[in-house]
Structure 1
Amino acid sequence: MKLVIKSLSKTYANGVHALKDVSLTLENGMFGLLGPNGAGKSSLMRTIATLQEADSGTVFIDELDVLKNKTQVRQLLGYLPQEFGVYPKISAERMLDHIAQLKGVGNAGERKDLVLGLLEKVNLFKDRKKHLGTYSGGMKQRFGIAQALIGDPKLIIVDEPTAGLDPAERNRFYNLLSQLGENTIVILSTHIVEDVSTLCSSFAIICQGEVLYAGDPEFAVKELEGKIYSKAINQSEIQYFRDVYNVISTQLKSGKLHIRILQDTEPQDGFVPSTPNLEDVYFSNIATRVDINTM
């Protein structure tokens, strides 16, 4: 299956240009969509999920026109938004049963098997009778994935799924998403670079509504080999280094400001070569769009 997005644009009533001529092609597997808060990631996800209209452009799942066949698209789609509500006094088992009915699973026996199988898959089977209001953040996220999987979707969209999760819950979520990506298109929208580095075979960077980079994470990192240098400096020196070098990221550690620069030739001023990573790819693309003091 293939998802093809061409020249997609969206401007909201308040004048915010959320999407600017976005074009991407996705195939089965995990696709990471990276960008800072407000970059346009959620706007793109909502458009693909048929929750809002585009001003111009096209989106196709194989031969199916997403923007013109919303009912058919929703039958193929599993969606986990960044924030979703749950009924706090209903058990996970009952809630999934209800959602399955809404998705057209009419046979009670078939529905029961489906619900129990999904709860087992997301490691919530032993907690199936508990009210959703008692679930931890990670458990709610796993419940969200379970409801997104009802109907055997061919396209799954998850928007900022690991935000606020502890490391153990995050790792379990990684494993689940990886399994899902084997036979479906899974779009992972996030601002956490590690999520994409860990999970995705392809990705794009979006900022201020525009796609700045799209490709393979490993290839993107390899392109920066021999071009990343680092140095610890005093905070008072930062303006000098910004004036002289292409500073792509800064991080404060133990009172020292550690900076990373992108340069084709070996710099002066005591910089040392540094192994590039996907964060360097990300920051080097958005550095001219976002104040690095906020990163």
Structure 2
Amino acid sequence: MAPHATLPPLRGRVQAAAPLAPLTWFRVGGPAEWLVRPADADDLLLLLRDLPKAVPLTVIGAASNLIIRDGGVRGVVLRLAGRGFGAVVAEADGIIAGAAALDAVVAEHAAAAGLAGLEFLSGIPGSIGGAVAMNAGAYGREVVDALDWAEVATPAGLLRLDAAGLRMAYRHAELPPRGVVVRARFRAMPGDATRIAAEMGRIRAAREATQPVRARTGGSTFRNPPGAKAWALVDAAGCRGLRLGGAQVSELHANFLLNTGDATAADIEGLGETVRARVLAQSGETLDWEIRRIGEVAA
């Protein structure tokens, strides 16, 4: 892929054969054919408008809930970062946050402004763009419960969509073709600062007590089936602590996979598939991946 023949003249950073593993929470995976970091929304819109349709486009955020396969990713990998996409602004009854802003940082801004209702974001690893794109949730609330609107860049321009326009459902949102979340507004309400701080502290403590937050992991691996908990099904199938190569099912929380130090993406994904097979055999339940898996299997 010749850069001048394929990519428009961008002001942001364009990198060929870019290592992606250091960007992911699992720290595994092959390179991007091209890694593009647009300077701002206008730069992103130019890329989306002029990138040939035949060139694959893959969007990654904080890469907290992502497996990049060992063969890497073809085409353009898009990552929003920096000041152009990270601003957080508090208003009287809500927060406007750029796609690159971390969920926990948005929760902290809300707390500092005395706004209640967004404490749950402090329990979601990753960034706002990814949280909107998958309707992320934690501790009894989801993005859909607080979202006013999201601005989505598309090849045809910038759209503003509400939760209904995004067809949000459990761990799901429908973006337009080649749509990229740029920023979002979340509803909040004035609240007692002490109570807000206490709730965020409770969430942080619960995460640290029950999840491997300091490990190389990808967050919740499988979606909860209707009426069931994924971790309980994994545990009942005898998979807690199960290993494959350098990958392991967490001993602390059975719905987390770990890179113990030398795992490949194939180890992690293969372990996940082994868990799915064992759960299906033991309980008859089919676990669906919550972690995104992208790229090519290594030859």
TM-score range, shorter chain: under 0.3
TM-score, with length taken from structure 1: 0.28
Who wins on radius of gyration, i.e. which is larger?
1
TM-score, with length taken from structure 2: 0.28
Higher RCO structure (Cα 8 Å, ≥6 apart): 1
Q: Which has the higher helix share?
A: 1
